[in-house]
């Protein structure tokens, strides 16, 4: 199954809020389940999950992760075959 991941940058590496315009990026990920998609994305980015992963019906999830460059909110949703959005290019995870 293909997932689209919205990655929203919340804080920088010093814990300060991020106000830069490219603070949102989109990624595409192939995984067998929503749990696998979260695990693969976090592993690829050498990050750790902060708190709980919230899962919702319809293969959707929200998680918060931290890596060396800051803290991010991730929103996972099922995707179609489309690989670009009007605002941002979708990057593979």
What confidence tens digit (pLDDT) does each residue in 18-56 have? 876 668 899 999 999 999 999 999 999 999 999 999 999
CB 16 within 8 A of CB 23: no
User: Residue 24 half-sphere exposure, CB side, CA atoms within 13 Å?
Assistant: 8
Residue 13 confidence class, pLDDT cut points 50, 70, 90: confident
Place of tokens 């996972």: 76
In a domain, 89, yes or no: no
- Residue 86 is predicted with a pLDDT of 45
In a domain, 92, yes or no: no
Please tell me the distance from the alpha carbon of residue 64 to that of residue 9, in angstroms, as a whole number: 10
| Full domain range(s) for residue 69 | 2-80
Residue 93 confidence class, pLDDT cut points 50, 70, 90: low
Beta strands in 1-93 (DSSP E): 2-11, 24-30, 48-56, 60-67, 70-78, 90-92
Please tell me the distance from the alpha carbon of residue 16 to that of residue 10, in angstroms, as a whole number: 8
In a domain, 45, yes or no: yes
């Amino acid at each position: 199954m293909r997932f689209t991941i919205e990655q929203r940058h919340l804080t920088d590496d010093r814990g300060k809020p991020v106000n830069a315009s490219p603070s949102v990026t989109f990624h595409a990920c192939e995984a067998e389940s929503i749990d696998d998609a979260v695990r693969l994305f976090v592993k690829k980015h050498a990050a750790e999950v902060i708190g709980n992963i919230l899962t919702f019906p319809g293969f959707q999830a929200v998680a918060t992760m931290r890596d060396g460059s800051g803290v991010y909110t991730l929103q996972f949703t099922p995707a179609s075959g489309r690989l670009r959005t009007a605002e941002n290019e979708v990057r593979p995870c």
